[in-house]
Amino acid sequence: MFSEVTQPSLTIKQISEYLGAEYRGDGDAIITGVSEIETAGPGDLIFADSPKYISRIIDSKCGAALISKTIINDPPTGINLILVDDVRKSLLRLLELVEPPKVFEPGIHPTAYIAGSVQLGLNIHIGPNVRIGEDSVIEDGVALLSGVYIGDGCRVGASTLIHPNVTLVQKVSIGKRCIIHPGAVIGSDGFGYLMVAGLLRKIPHMGGVLIGDEVEIGANSCIDRAKMGFTSIGDNCKIDNLVHIGHNVSVGAGSILVGAVAIGGSTTIGSGVVLGGQVGVADHIHIGDGAKIAAQSGVISDIEAGEVVIGFPARSRTKRLREYAAITALPEALRKIRKLEHRLAELEKKQGGQDN
């Protein structure tokens, strides 16, 4: 449903005017929520950007449908429609209108611990049981929700939101307007050991983590600090839940890392790269700008800029799909080969009889 802190309902005409769209049907009909097609009720707006959904829209109990002008030549009748050029962009604008980011009141909860050397900006919200270590800097407009732990020597950039139970271990710098979701751990030691006299000795990690501006980090993701220098995440990167980024990794601006991605230490990822869910990347790998790695792929060698790869080991999508097609055809090919072998054996047997 629409947020109670904003306008609780909008007419179809109001929505259309806001989106710069045209509508068909009852412009005074009230919309009170956005819903999936299957669960929509009379006050709900649904959306569709593919012709395959048209029949389901007609059968829906929704109050109105947001659809693309380009996907149908003859819009369905008997249902309120809002016709737009781009459904997803229009839906984004609408959701931003009715569900803006929550604003946290400035103030420091009495259970919070703040070291004496911490520098605090203006209009900061610090929730219950937050802990901020020595020599850290919290800039203007930051919101630290309950249970956030910030170690020594950290910086949190202006207007950043850190959700409950996030841990910044030490030497972590977070940029401006970032969002870090619950349970994320940033700045823990990387995974590094050396075998000495038959025993594994821990390699000290003395570096830090640099996070750019407008980065979003999903719940329970982990970003390790560097051995020396910094693990770095570029501006506008979007990191899903349960992602692991090893020590000294560099991720370029605008990259997307989907859930359960794991990146080995000292790997370099360019700008605008997309790693699908459960992609694994070995250490010391270079992935070029704009590359796309399909879900569950395993990257064990460098990927050129702009490449689209799939599978394990990750290879060109085009070549890999040809291989998959060939594998699918193998049973029939083997059947034909056996049949030919049988015929050849019969011919050889006949030939042998004639020679005698």
4, 209, 248, 310 from 17: Cα distances, Å: 22, 45, 49, 44
Q: Are 12 and 64 in contact (CB under 8 A)?
A: yes
7: three-class secondary structure by DSSP:
coil
Cα distances (Å, whole numbers) of residue 325 to 227, 316, 318, 321, 328: 44, 14, 11, 6, 5
Alpha carbon distance 218, 225 (integer Å): 17
DSSP codes of every residue in 226-241: PSSSEEEE-TT-EE-T
Please state, in angstroms and rounded to a whole number, the distance separating the CA atoms of residues 198 and 203. 15
Using DSSP's 3-state secondary structure scheme, residue 173 falls into strand
Reply yes or no on whether 205 is catalytic: no
Out of 163, 205, 244, 247, the active site residue is 247
Shortest CA distance to 264 belongs to which of 252, 277, 251?
251
Rounded Cα gap, residues 292 and 311, in angstroms: 12
**Cβ–Cβ < 8 Å for 245, 266:** no
Q: Where are the beta strands (DSSP E) in 59-138?
A: 64-68, 81-84, 107-108, 113-114, 119-120, 125-126, 131-132, 137-138
Half-sphere exposure of 306 (CA within 13 A, CB side): 0
Strand partners, 309: 293, 316
Catalytic residue numbers, as ranges = 247
